Amino acid sequence: MSIIVFGSINIDLVATAPRLPVAGETLLGEKFFKVSGGKGANQAVALAKLGIPTHMVGRVGADGFGGELVNNLQSSGVQIDNIFVDETVSSGVAIIAVNHAGENQIIVIPGANGCVNQEDVERLSHLLPEATALLLQLEIPINAVVAAAKAARKTNTRVILDPAPAQSDFPDELYPLVDIITPNEVEASQLVGFPVDGEELAAKAAGVLLQRGVKCAIVKLGAKGVFCATAEEKFFVPAFSVHAVDTVAAGDAFNGGLTAALFEGLSLHQAVVWGAAAGALATTKAGAQTSLPDRFTFDAFLRERF
Ligand SMILES: Nc1ncnc2c1ncn2[C@@H]1O[C@H](COP(=O)(O)OP(=O)(O)OP(=O)(O)O)[C@@H](O)[C@H]1O
């Protein structure tokens, strides 16, 4: 059995400079580096690094970045046979300029991620009978997300949706197709239409999401912890106390840890604890996929804390 992640695969091209350029200006910068990302790819790497058999389904372009992104996924242990190389577009790219104050300018080109469609859902459907869960996010066209969730319903595969980035036009038909939804505070606010800040409002938001048809709502509250609700149980898991240096990909690490625990047959409560542990560990290192914990580090962290 395995897990399927259906979503975005991106590369961030980062240039640092003393200040950001103004329109029409050419500026001498300082450093350049590339970071593999995309919420889909991050979640696939989070799972594979925890030792869970994981298929990535998505698209890259036929440019040099596509090959590099796929190789990175493969070397993290992700199964890459169902990543389609689209000859017609570039890979998903974010071009990021950062100044000394840490301010940035970002242009995101969805590229191949924006071309994910029904053909990809069909490739994914072949994997569903062998999958215990399908992980979705919102960085590919929403029609493809809905179609994938419908396909998973036919095989009774658990659907875990990270409704990120926050969307104002989230389709109502998606809620009843989702087993577990995992918004952060901003995404939860966008979905329910009132500010979500802290445990009490997270509980209220989770109640609204359950009413709309999801079976389980998990609201990620950053360094404050996590609130989880189903029709049967409601509980709060505090965040692990760690020295956080960079929260990028903490949410993706959380979804990886949560899904890994469920794959291994643990309870929902234990799965939320695993998610919180993976999220906390991801904040202790800089970067996206590079900050995601491997199984050895993850097990040692849990042993130390319990
Ligand atoms: N500073 C922190 N200390 C300890 N744990 C943390 C910290 N930040 C995040 N976590 C853990 O990781 C989980 C997910 O983090 P967060 O709520 O920031 O998700 P997110 O906003 O989706 O993340 P992302 O930055 O990837 O978008 C939290 O619920 C918490 O358990």
Q: Is position 162 annotated in a ligand binding site?
A: no
Reported as a pLDDT band with limits 50, 70 and 90, residue 167 is confident
- Length of the chain in terms of residues written: 306
- Report which ligand 1 atom has the smallest distance to the Cα of 244: 1
Closest C-alpha to ligand 1, atom 20: 251
Active-site residue 120, yes or no? no
Q: Is position 27 annotated in a ligand binding site?
A: no
Query: What is the pLDDT at residue 306?
Result: 84
| Beta bridge mates, 10 | 37, 92
* Pocket of ligand 1 contains residue 109 by CB under 6 Å: no
Determine the average pLDDT of the residues in 188-201.
Answer: 96
119-165 pLDDT, tens digit per residue, is 999 999 999 999 999 999 999 999 999 999 999 999 999 999 999 99
Q: What is the three-class DSSP state of 138? A: coil
- ipTM reported for the complex surpasses 0.90: yes
**Can you give the pTM of this predicted structure?**
0.96
Say which range, 24-33, 101-110, 120-129, 232-241, has the weakest mean pLDDT. Answer: 101-110
Query: What is the pLDDT at residue 277?
Result: 98
Say which range, 26-30, 44-48, 246-250, 300-304, has the weakest mean pLDDT. Answer: 246-250
Query: What is the pLDDT at residue 100?
Result: 94
55-85 pLDDT, tens digit per residue, is 999 999 999 999 999 999 999 999 999 999 9
* Pocket of ligand 1 contains residue 283 by CB under 6 Å: yes
* Pocket of ligand 1 contains residue 301 by CB under 6 Å: no
* Pocket of ligand 1 contains residue 252 by CB under 6 Å: yes
Query: What is the pLDDT at residue 102?
Result: 86
* Pocket of ligand 1 contains residue 223 by CB under 6 Å: yes
4-39 pLDDT, tens digit per residue, is 999 999 999 999 999 999 999 999 999 999 999 999
**Distance (Å) from CA 59 to ligand 1 centroid:** 27
> What would the DSSP string read from start to end of 195-254?
---SHHHHHHHHHHHHHTT-SEEEEE-GGG-EEEEESS-EEEEPPPP---S--TTHHHHH
d(CA 143, CA 149): 10
Q: Which of 63, 86, 120, 252 is catalytic?
A: 252
Reported as a pLDDT band with limits 50, 70 and 90, residue 276 is very high
Closest C-alpha to ligand 1, atom 31: 276
**Distance (Å) from CA 221 to ligand 1 centroid:** 7
**Distance (Å) from CA 205 to ligand 1 centroid:** 18
